[in-house]
Amino acid sequence: MADTAISVEHLAKRYMITAQHGERGRYVALRDVMASGARRLANRVIHPRRASAQGGSRGMQEFWALDDVSFNIVQGERLGIIGNNGAGKSTLLKVLSRITEPTRGIIRLRGRIASLLEVGTGFHPELTGRENIFLNGAILGMGKQEIRRKFDEIVSFAEVEQFLDTPVKRYSSGMYVRLAFAVAAHLEPEILIVDEVLAVGDAQFQKKCLGKMEEVGRGGRTVLFVSHNMNAIEQLCDTCMLLRKGRLVRHSHDVRGIVKEYLFGEEDGQKPTLWENSGDKFENPYFKPDRLFLCNEEGEQLPNPIRNDEDIFLQVDGTVTKPHSSLALQYTVFCDDGTLLYHSSTIDSAENALANVKQGRVSVRSRIPRRFLNEGDYRIDLTVFLHKVQFITQYGVNAPSVFLSIQGGLTDSSLWSSKRAGLVAPMIPWETIEHEPAVLRSSASATL
Amino acid sequence: MEQFDLVIEAGKGERQYWKDIFRYRELFYFLAWRDILVRYKQTVIGLAWALIRPFVTMVVLSVVFGSFAKMPSGGVPYPLLVYAGMLPWQFFSTALTESSASLVGNANVITKIYFPRLVIPTSAVVVSFIDFLISFLIYIGLMIWYKFLPPLAILFLPVFALLSFSAAIGAGLWFAALTVKYRDFRYIVPFIVQFGIYVSPVGFSSSIVPQKYQLLYMMNPLVGIIDAFRWSLLGTISFPAQSFALSVVMVTLLLGTGILYFRKTERGFADII
């Protein structure tokens, strides 16, 4: 049986939020403490009976970032931690990294922990790349000898050989992030904790990061990985944990299942095929989307699940406030594991549906091809944009979305009975070609 | 039952801490190294500033207290008298100012990485200590200039330097932790430093303090330290046994309570910084 690397029992973390009026904000000023102390003292003298009721309230509220979380992680496990913003993921990592203390509970760890909660922590812009490697390495816990030993590896991983002696403030953001990750990647801890560092950097960098983390994982070390990138989670992790509002909702080897639950599991379970603008969302000078929904040819909203052989239209109702020649709409279909299936846009064809649109209400729609998508759940995001200018809504970031559940109707044939593999299940006809039987026989004898 | 290396529990955390300080010992060096490097890189006269500042202060104080106020100097060139008192004071005041701001200044690291936070204000004191050593070099230059031979007691100087180092750390830990909790503390610190220079024997020698105020005066730990410095560097006074003893007691108290308070509030740093 493999050893337990991390054992967490009934972990809870509480923050006190001050609902304080005025400019001061989060921290306490001595001046305020003294002033309120004096006020309280004065109150006690003037109104001795009323004083006790006041208490020490400055509008403090409790916020439980983590609430009774318990789990065990085995050595060598590669755990992905997912959840909405505010679910408690970063707090969990902070507590495990000993940056902040738990309010309740016990954590037991075996092995050296290294945390990468932010890339480039401790980097000073005035220092050169070389100096920052040492500084950052020391802050992360490496000794001078260790850093010297790994120096060349770090530099070649980051690909900054030429720029080692220039101050880091002159680095491009890509170089900066590569260097920062390179130092952290060579930490060699028994337990590696990584928090959403893939969010920075380009695709090439993300690939390199993932590759390095995979390598760490294969080396028998335990990896805890927080990310919003579901593809990365599925690629790297063999177990997954879902946090919601500070509670541990699921934790198992079923990474795909948990990712799906995160992406699609709304509290009410119903997958809406309609999105309505609650009033003032997406205000901008050009086009405001009012409604997005799936419907039939008559414009009637279709409820989920929908058969594959039905006509499905995606309709957008909106208001044009100022016509713009580059205004365009696009919908993006995502599979339930977060894979982007395809885009379709008003500017795909030369006849732009929005070309001559005038100020005022407008409705646009597009047909989702029949007998094309496979059975399953999909999310459709609406991107409203000015081509090559700006995004008004952006898929994957802040776009209005509807959900599509395809069930049944994939085929008329009785021989195709269960859901087949593949992202799409298009119904494409086959035909036989008429030709001489003799040709067929001779090729057959040739193979014998 | 499996053996675990580390147990994190609410309200506990003492045992690992001192082991960690040892494990992260190189960080003392690295943080001090960073601050010094940055200082030099940012100013043209960076290196020179470490020399200019103590020198100019010494000149001003000599002129004010020696030539204008005509305070007695006990037969030693006035600049030397002033400088000998200024050495430890300069060290203490910059150490205090730097370390109070050190935690808040390193907020970005405190919220993202774990290491014993004691390292931060301590390395600020280390940086000031390096400035102290440079100032001491100037003092040696001054002694040569005045053809002044120091007494044998100068061999005790490292002891007094260590005492002022401890005083700086003790006060620094207190102020660093307090500044995190009460952010406007950083306005109080320069005031304390300003006030301190008048009640410590920097520009004058302790002999002019009236007898009835002597005990109160000696509660200031800097008094014993500065007098001890003067004794070992100049030999104009006999060993200030009373003020030195009181100093040692105060410094021990300061350091001990400083560490305790710091450790107690350290857990909450990342949450409130």
Instruction: Give A369-395 pLDDT, tens digit per residue.
Output: 888 888 888 999 999 998 888 888 888
B3 inside domain: no
pLDDT in tens, A237-282: 899 999 988 999 889 998 888 887 887 765 445 578 888 888 778 8
Mean pLDDT, residues B160-184 taken together: 91
Q: Using pLDDT thresholds of 50, 70 and 90, give the confidence band for residue B238.
A: confident
The percentage of residues in chain B with a pLDDT greater than 90, rounded to a whole number, is 25
**A366 vs A313: CA distance, rounded Å:** 6
Amino acid occupying residue A383? T
B4 inside domain: no
Residues 11-50 of B with CB under 8 A from A: 11, 13, 23-24, 26-27, 30, 33-34, 37-38, 41-42
- The yes or no reply on domain A274-406 and CATH 2.70.50.60 is yes
How many residues does this entry show for chain A? 448
| Domain boundaries of chain A, sorted by first residue | 20-58, 66-264, 274-406
Mean pLDDT value across chain B: 84
Separation in Å, CA of B4 to nearest CA in chain A: 5
Examine the pLDDT at B273 and tell me if it is beyond 50. Answer: yes
Mean pLDDT, residues B197-220 taken together: 82
CB A3 within 8 A of CB A75: yes
pLDDT confidence of residue A25: 47
Closest to B84 measured CA to CA, from B273, B228, B198: B228
CB distance from B199 to chain A under 8 Å? Answer: no
ipTM value = 0.83
Instruction: Give the structural domain span for B32.
Output: 14-272
Q: CB distance A109–B8 less than 8 Å? A: yes
The superfamily CATH assigns to domain A66-264 is P-loop containing nucleotide triphosphate hydrolases (3.40.50.300)
What is the DSSP-derived secondary structure letter of residue B153?
Answer: G
Task: Tell me the chain A residues in contact with residue B26 when contact means C-beta distances shorter than 8 Å.
Answer: 138, 143-144
How, if at all, do strands A360-368 and A401-406 pair? unpaired
pLDDT confidence of residue A268: 46
B7 inside domain: no
pLDDT in tens, A293-343: 998 888 888 877 788 888 899 999 999 988 888 899 999 999 888 888 999
Examine the pLDDT at B185 and tell me if it is beyond 50. Answer: yes
B154 inside domain: yes
Examine the pLDDT at B252 and tell me if it is beyond 90. Answer: yes
B2 inside domain: no
Biggest alpha carbon–alpha carbon distance for chain A: 116
Statement: the pTM of the whole predicted model exceeds 0.80: no
pLDDT in tens, A117-164: 887 788 998 899 999 999 999 988 888 899 999 999 999 988 889 999
Q: CB distance B38–A126 less than 8 Å? A: yes
**A66 vs A96: CA distance, rounded Å:** 12
B119 inside domain: yes
Residues 108-167 of B with CB under 8 A from A: 108-115
pLDDT confidence of residue A92: 93
Number of domains in chain B: 1
B184 inside domain: yes
CB A247 within 8 A of CB A67: yes
Examine the pLDDT at A1 and tell me if it is beyond 60. Answer: no
Q: A96 to chain B: nearest residue by CA? A: B8
Separation in Å, CA of B105 to nearest CA in chain A: 11
